[in-house]
Chain A
Amino acid sequence: MKQNNLLTEITIPSNNDIHDEALINEFANGIGKNIFILTPSYPFVFIGRIIDVVGDHVVVDVKVTTIGELENRNWSIHVHQIEVFYIEEKGMPKIPELKVDI
């Protein structure tokens, strides 16, 4: 009786896995393109060019973020941390130059 309650039917891959992997593919297909990323974690905004996908991290050559000192370097961003993003596509609006000149 008790053992039966512990049985859960699962399918592999699960829907969650598919969504995660498909998302990684999405970034892999975007290597070389410009990307805009919002994360709930500091520094919240990343704008730059995707240069690689390493495991479940996207490597971005970040040109613009909220903190000047953190710009112009490669940031490895965990895919699960990305809340919203936009990979620039041909025929679609360009990511605006959000840099404030001081």
Chain B
Amino acid sequence: MSYEKEKDVKQQQDYHEKRKEDEDREFDGLLRINIEDVEDELFEELQGLVGDSILVVTESDQLNLFGQTFRPIFCGTIIRVTQGDVTLFPVNIKMINAPFFQFPTPLSIPLEKIAHFTPNFDCNERIPLT
């Protein structure tokens, strides 16, 4: 057996031994973590923007609202921020043939779905959507 191969085998054995050790450290029951003490900079930044208007683009290429497809571009005032989502109201959906369509309810956007956002954006501004 070449030296290289021997090393590989040894590494694999080490890995399996390590796995065994880890199994000994299993938790019984639920693991609860208090997320209040964990630093969440994005959450803090968004919370500082409550009351400001924001332009948010989310991950998917397009959404569909009863036959009307549109790019997920939302502009509105932040009314609430949690560690899971940001809620905008009033909120404007930038549809191609209705660029100032105001959605009748507030809309919440999961933080993990935000592709990009820019704060202090004037929602009345016209932007080409193509």
Chain A residues with CB below 8 A from B83, complex form: 18-19, 22
Q: Are B84 and A22 in contact (CB under 8 A)?
A: yes
Q: Are A85 and B67 in contact (CB under 8 A)?
A: no
Q: Are A44 and B84 in contact (CB under 8 A)?
A: no
- Which of B33, B74, B104, B110 sits near A19, CB closer than 8 Å? B110
Minimal beta-carbon separation of B54 from chain A (angstroms): 14
Q: Given A15-B40, A23-B110, A87-B108, is A40 in contact with B60 using a C-beta cutoff of 8 Å?
A: yes
Given contacts A84-B107, A94-B105, 20 further A-B contacts (CB under 8 A): A15-B42, A16-B112, A18-B43, A18-B83, A19-B42, A19-B83, A20-B84, A22-B85, A23-B112, A26-B108, A40-B62, A44-B64, A45-B66, A83-B72, A83-B109, A84-B109, A86-B105, A86-B108, A87-B108, A95-B105
Q: Are B82 and A22 in contact (CB under 8 A)?
A: yes
Q: Are A36 and B109 in contact (CB under 8 A)?
A: no
Q: Are A40 and B110 in contact (CB under 8 A)?
A: no
A68-92 CB mask vs B (1 if < 8 Å, else 0) is 0000000000011011111110001
B47 in contact (CB, < 8 A): no
B113 in contact (CB, < 8 A): yes
Chain B residues with CB below 8 A from A25, complex form: 84
Compute how far the CA of A36 lies from the CA of B105 in the bound complex, rounded to whole angstroms.
10
Chain A residues with CB below 8 A from B72, complex form: 40, 83-84
- Which of B35, B38, B43, B58 sits near A84, CB closer than 8 Å? B58
Q: Are B65 and A44 in contact (CB under 8 A)?
A: yes
Minimal beta-carbon separation of A7 from chain B (angstroms): 16
Chain B residues with CB below 8 A from A79, complex form: 110
Minimal beta-carbon separation of A73 from chain B (angstroms): 19
Minimal beta-carbon separation of A31 from chain B (angstroms): 15
Chain B residues with CB below 8 A from A15, complex form: 40-42
Compute how far the CA of A45 lies from the CA of B67 in the bound complex, rounded to whole angstroms.
10
Compute how far the CA of A45 lies from the CA of B66 in the bound complex, rounded to whole angstroms.
8
Q: Are A38 and B35 in contact (CB under 8 A)?
A: no
Q: Given A16-B112, A20-B84, A95-B105, is A66 in contact with B63 using a C-beta cutoff of 8 Å?
A: no
